[in-house]
Amino acid sequence: MNIIEKILAKASDRRDVNPGEIIEANIDKVMANDITAPLAVKAFKEMGGKKVWDKERIILVLDHLVPANRDRSAELHMLLRKFVREQKIKHFYDVGRGGVCHQIMMENHVKPGEVIVGGDSHTCTYGAIGSFATGIGSTEVASVFLTGKLWFKVPKTINIVIEGKLKQPSAPKDIILYIIGQFRADGATYMGIKFSGETIKDISVDGRMTLCNMVVEMGAKNGIIEPDDKTALYLKERGFTSPNFIKDDVDAKYYKTVYYDASEVEPMVACPFTVDNVKPVSEVDKVEIDQAVIGSCTNGRLEDLRLAAQIFRNKRVKEGVRVLIIPASQKVYMDAMNEGLLETFIKAGALICNPCCGPCYGGHLGLLAAEEVCISTTNRNFVGRMGHPKAKIYLASPATVASSALTGRISVPR
């Protein structure tokens, strides 16, 4: 079996599983946020739920509309706070105590070999350290609240092998955008994506998170990378001991294997209005921008902010362009402050926002007017995703976004 099948076999108390089989898995952890959790709480009560299955394995995070932008948002936050008190939920990240749900999960809760589900489509991020993680709907979240179990169809697995040296200024975001452009939005529907190869070994855990985060944009069920020494160090820094890592059997089988050469990947950009509408940055370098966003569960980590700060240092944002910097968590915010990165951004003319989903979700912070153009490190560029349906969103790496903010148009980072 491959790593995905081995994790699902373990979770369903079976010796082996095969692609296409329906299994019932024991869930290690379930996460929901302020958009999906209220619906889950409602469904939990409609199902007759009185007590959650495990108050220590449920993680609730306020991150999409933080702080509350209107009375309805405040009421949803209040509903969750009440549920947390009633059920004595141990892990609740309120305003000012957390950040973007996926970053919070990676910093505090995710371990290799676990089966983790979340009420958000980018839960697949957690595969970066070798867990099976996937997004689910709110009624499914409610079901896990009740039982601690969930059924899955065992996915076919595509092994994406990436070799070669990634050349600066290209970044992991450019790799995943390139791959999505090749696969298209439905090229891996309900399949597991395993990343492997020398390039993956060279990429940091932060970069691996970026890769796994966006596999859902080509239809995948989950993304995963076999744990290694970098995984062990990442866990140690967070106070976790390294378990016996689950890896592929030596004769593991895949649905198919696809090869890429990282040295050939140049800075890429996903153009409106689909994530798979991918082109080299050099082909769209005449597009003028109104806003640049660096943040989100895709690229709001310390590594991303360091890269952007390198480009902003001793420079000023182009007149007429507004820049939003959104650290992915309170920890990232604090680390960036201690390293002087926030000062660099402020001196360059950027606005530092509180850790949250911000304009990526389109709920509040940095929304666009009709015909405005934004280049962003976020993961989706659909119509109306960031405000007005006639606005346009381009997706790129932190380096490309920072460089574009300085020139006032989409630019190859230098």
Domains of the chain, residue spans: 3-261, 269-407
Say if 3-261 and 269-407 have the same CATH topology: yes
Q: Is the pLDDT of residue 242 over 80?
A: no
Confidence of residue 168 (pLDDT cuts 50, 70, 90): confident
pTM above 0.75, yes or no: yes
Region 363-380: mean pLDDT is: 96
36 has a pLDDT exceeding 80: yes
Residue 353's pLDDT is 97
Class of domain 269-407 as given by CATH: alpha beta
Positive/negative CA dihedral, 98, 100, 106, 110? positive
- Give yes or no for residue 414 having a pLDDT over 90: no
What's the pLDDT at 241? 84
The whole-number average pLDDT for the span 114-138 is: 98
How large a percentage of the chain has pLDDT more than 70?
A: 100
> Structure tokens of 128?
């970066």
Please give the pLDDT value at position 363.
86
Summarize the confidence of residues 316-328 as an average pLDDT.
98
- What confidence tier does 244 reach under pLDDT thresholds 50, 70, 90? confident
What confidence score (pLDDT) does residue 214 get? 98
Arithmetic mean of pLDDT over the chain: 97
How large is the average pLDDT for residues 373-397? 97
* Predicted pLDDT of residue 8: 98
What CATH architecture is 3-261? 2-Layer Sandwich (3.30)
* Alpha-carbon separation of residue 369 from 69, 82, 97, 156, 213 (angstroms): 18, 36, 31, 42, 28
Query: Mean of the pLDDT values across residues 169-196?
Result: 97
Q: Of the given ranges (53-57, 283-287, 362-366, 379-383), which has the lowest mean pLDDT?
A: 362-366
Q: Which of 124, 211, 121 is nearest to 166 (CA)?
A: 211
Query: What residues have CB less than 8 Å from 58, skipping those under 6 apart?
Result: 29, 30, 31, 32, 52, 87, 89, 90, 91, 145
